[in-house]
């Protein structure tokens, strides 16, 4: 039940994510948004991304095991980058000329929001094979993806309001998690459990 500060730097820090003993977040201490991490077992805090240009920003990190992903503006548009904390190698996940946002990672699979088709879609890349593909071909807006194992979840506007949908990448089966007529947003998944923000009661609940 002990609560403690992960970082007390006087700049702003947002959007934390955690895997094991490693916490990552976006951090403004350098005058632009960078990705920082802290190892809770050692207490060591340091910068994840190598790009330090103040005209650039790195935001929206996620982590699974030793892999950190984030959205990155170093090329003049938003791309997805990754760093392997075990090897120290930083690499690009996708540099399609359209913007990509909000990455999430589980194992060797990275998912993100992608505007290459003129509206928000969910794309994925298998880091072990290098194959990049669309998760869903529906023409409405899909955004805010998360992934656990082979299951991807996202916010979906195909029914004229925001619902939560999922896809099992191993079977290709896509299905609705909830289609309540109120708005549902910001899904997260772990194993077989999905949570989301829901305003069916007139205010935002989980």
Would you state the pLDDT for residue 137? 75
Quote the CA–CA distance of 38 and 25 in Å, as a whole number: 9
User: What share of residues in the chain are helix, strand, coil (percent, to 5)?
Assistant: 0, 50, 50
pLDDT along the chain (206 residues), means of 10: 94 97 96 96 95 82 98 94 96 93 97 94 96 91 97 96 97 95 96 97 96
Taking the mean position of all CA atoms in its chain, how far away is CA 107?
13
Residue 23, classed as helix, strand or coil, is strand
Tell me how crowded residue 24 is: count the other CB atoms within 10 A of its CB: 23
pTM, whole model, 2 decimals? 0.95
Would you state the pLDDT for residue 129? 96
The dihedrals phi and psi of 102, each to the nearest 5 degrees, come to: 50, 60
Would you state the pLDDT for residue 51? 78
């Amino acid at each position: 039940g002990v609560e403690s500060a992960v970082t007390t730097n006087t700049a702003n820090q947002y959007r934390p994510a955690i895997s094991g003993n490693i916490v990552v977040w976006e951090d403004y201490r350098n005058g632009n948004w960078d990705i920082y991490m802290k190892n809770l077992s050692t207490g060591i805090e340091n910068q994840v991304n190598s790009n330090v240009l103040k005209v650039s920003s790195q935001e929206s990190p996620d982590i699974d095991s030793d892999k950190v992903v984030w959205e990155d503006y170093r090329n003049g548009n938003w791309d997805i980058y990754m760093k392997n904390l075990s090897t120290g190698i930083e690499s690009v996940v996708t540099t399609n000329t359209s913007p990509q946002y909000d990455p999430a990672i589980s194992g060797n699979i990275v998912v993100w929001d992608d505007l290459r088709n003129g509206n928000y879609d969910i794309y994925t890349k298998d880091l072990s094979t290098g194959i990049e593909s669309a998760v869903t071909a529906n023409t409405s807006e899909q955004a805010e993806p998360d992934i656990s194992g082979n299951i991807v979840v996202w916010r979906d506007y195909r029914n004229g309001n925001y619902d939560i949908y999922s896809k099992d990448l191993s079977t290709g089966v896509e299905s609705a998690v909830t289609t309540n007529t109120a708005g549902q947003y910001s899904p997260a998944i772990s194993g077989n459990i999905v949570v989301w923000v829901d305003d069916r009661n007139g205010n935002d609940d989980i």
